[in-house]
């Protein structure tokens, strides 16, 4: 495995590995996962120098946090920066409630109490509301997180999928480490107004969906059968017509990757990492082979000629289909 360097997550966040690991797929949303392999993948990531591990209390309705808690029993807690999202509401059958996120001041303390217990730790490094609730002022949510930070239960305050106005309002209440948002060759929306605002405010960015949920990996099999609970079964980008158009873009990216002796995934990850010092791609690997492939992206330096070839292969706004279904997209503060 390559040696992973570190970079600062904005002016107020911790230093983290240049690539982080997102654990969501180990419990949810991408079909069945193997628990032993998930733990082995978490251990392999930490041993390779990945310090940032992202989860959500709602991933597998607590399962993902318990999994990370188990993996951490055999590693040093201080070697890992744990990022936890809260707020999204589930149902007992594994579904999602359409209700707005549970991010009131009371919910912050309540959900944090459960996360600490499931993770088997007495502090969370970065705590963040998963979505904005339009009925709850961001000042209330961040104010309650600031209280928890002052009490030592959380080290940093992050945000997820919010736009410039909310970023400014939140940053006026407390220092914000990073915004977590979908950002990839196929999802370049943040470049318009969000990334410039982050730079102005000294806030970092943790990018998810860097492989567009596997579409940009070079491994996507168009004949793959997806279970109803698989996010991609409902994602516009994976629907008939859009999928073929998107895979043509991936084909062009693969040709660039082949020219430089890399894989498609590595080029997609390295492209995000090349967009700025405060930008950290999260990879969604849940197997050691995928992790090894992803982490090797740190050895790729994309020169100007290659960056131009990548842009030509996958031009901005070329993706067929939105990144979320319409009803979800309408709830995103980042898309307003
Ligand atoms: N803030 C938010 O709203 C939000 C939303 C979504 C995710 N996230 C976070 O971001 C993390 C990453 O997001 P994501 O899982 O959507 O990212 P992603 O990296 O775009 O997609 C992960 C998918 O790519 C596939 N894949 C194929 N080749 C891979 C390779 N070499 N390395 C890694 N994955 C490969 C995996 O496939 P297999 O089927 O082979 O495992 C998995 O299904 C999540 O785990 C979660 O922590 C945050």
Q: 3 Cβ partners below 8 Å, 6+ apart?
A: 49, 298
Q: 29 Cβ partners below 8 Å, 6+ apart?
A: 59, 229, 230, 231
Taking CA atoms only, the protein residue closest to ligand 1 atom 5 is 208
Residue 270 near residue 307 (C-beta atoms within 8 A): no
Q: First CA to last CA across the chain, in angstroms?
A: 41
Residue 17 Cβ contacting ligand 1 at under 6 Å: no
Q: 316 Cβ partners below 8 Å, 6+ apart?
A: 188, 191
**Total length of the chain:** 336
pTM: predicted TM-score of the whole model, two decimal places: 0.97
Residue 102 Cβ contacting ligand 1 at under 6 Å: no
Taking CA atoms only, the protein residue closest to ligand 1 atom 10 is 208
Of the candidates 30, 59, 183, 208, the residue annotated as catalytic is 59
Residue 41 Cβ contacting ligand 1 at under 6 Å: no
Taking only the tens of pLDDT, the chain with its 336 residues reads 557 999 999 999 999 999 999 999 999 999 899 999 999 999 999 999 999 999 999 999 999 999 999 999 999 999 999 999 999 999 999 999 999 999 999 999 999 999 999 999 999 999 999 999 999 999 999 999 999 999 999 999 999 999 999 999 999 999 999 999 999 999 999 999 999 999 999 999 999 999 999 999 999 998 888 988 899 999 999 999 999 999 999 999 999 999 999 999 999 999 999 999 999 999 999 999 999 999 999 999 999 999 999 999 999 999 999 999 999 999 999 999
Taking CA atoms only, the protein residue closest to ligand 1 atom 26 is 214
Taking CA atoms only, the protein residue closest to ligand 1 atom 28 is 217
**Closest atom of ligand 1 relative to the 206 alpha carbon:** 10
Catalytic site residue 208?
Answer: no
């Amino acid at each position: 495995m390559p040696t992973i360097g570190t970079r600062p997550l904005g002016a107020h966040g911790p230093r983290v590995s240049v690539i982080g690991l997102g654990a969501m797929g180990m419990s949810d949303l991408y079909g069945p996962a193997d628990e032993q392999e998930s733990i082995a993948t978490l251990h392999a990531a930490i041993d390779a120098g990945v310090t940032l591990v992202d989860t959500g209390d709602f991933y597998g309705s607590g399962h993902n946090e318990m999994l990370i808690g188990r993996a951490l029993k055999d590693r040093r807690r201080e070697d890992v920066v744990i990022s936890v999202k809260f707020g999204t509401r589930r149902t007992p059958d594994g579904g999602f409630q359409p209700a707005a996120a549970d991010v009131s001041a009371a919910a912050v303390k309540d959900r944090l109490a459960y996360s600490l217990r499931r993770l088997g730790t007495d502090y969370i490094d970065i705590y963040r509301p998963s979505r904005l609730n339009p009925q709850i002022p961001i000042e209330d949510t961040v104010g309650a997180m600031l209280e928890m930070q002052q009490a030592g239960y959380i080290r940093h305050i992050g945000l997820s999928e919010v736009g410039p106005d909310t970023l400014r309002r939140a940053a006026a209440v407390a220092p914000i480490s990073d915004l977590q948002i979908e950002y990839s060759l196929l999802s370049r929306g943040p470049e318009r107004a969000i990334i410039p605002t982050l730079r102005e405010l000294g806030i970092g960015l943790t990018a998810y969906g860097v492989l567009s949920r596997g579409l940009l990996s070079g491994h996507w099999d168009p004949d793959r059968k997806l279970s109803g609970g698989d996010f991609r079964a409902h994602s516009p980008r994976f629907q008939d017509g859009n999928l073929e158009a998107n895979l043509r873009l991936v084909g062009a990216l693969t040709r660039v990757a082949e020219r430089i002796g890399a894989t498609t995934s590595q080029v997609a990850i390295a492209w995000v990492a090349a967009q700025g010092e405060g930008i950290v791609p999260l990879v969604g690997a849940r197997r050691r082979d995928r992790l090894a492939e992803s982490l090797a992206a740190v050895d790729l330096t994309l020169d100007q000629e290659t960056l131009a070839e990548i842009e030509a292969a996958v031009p901005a706004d070329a993706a067929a289909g939105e990144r979320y279904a319409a009803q979800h997209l309408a709830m995103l503060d980042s898309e307003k």
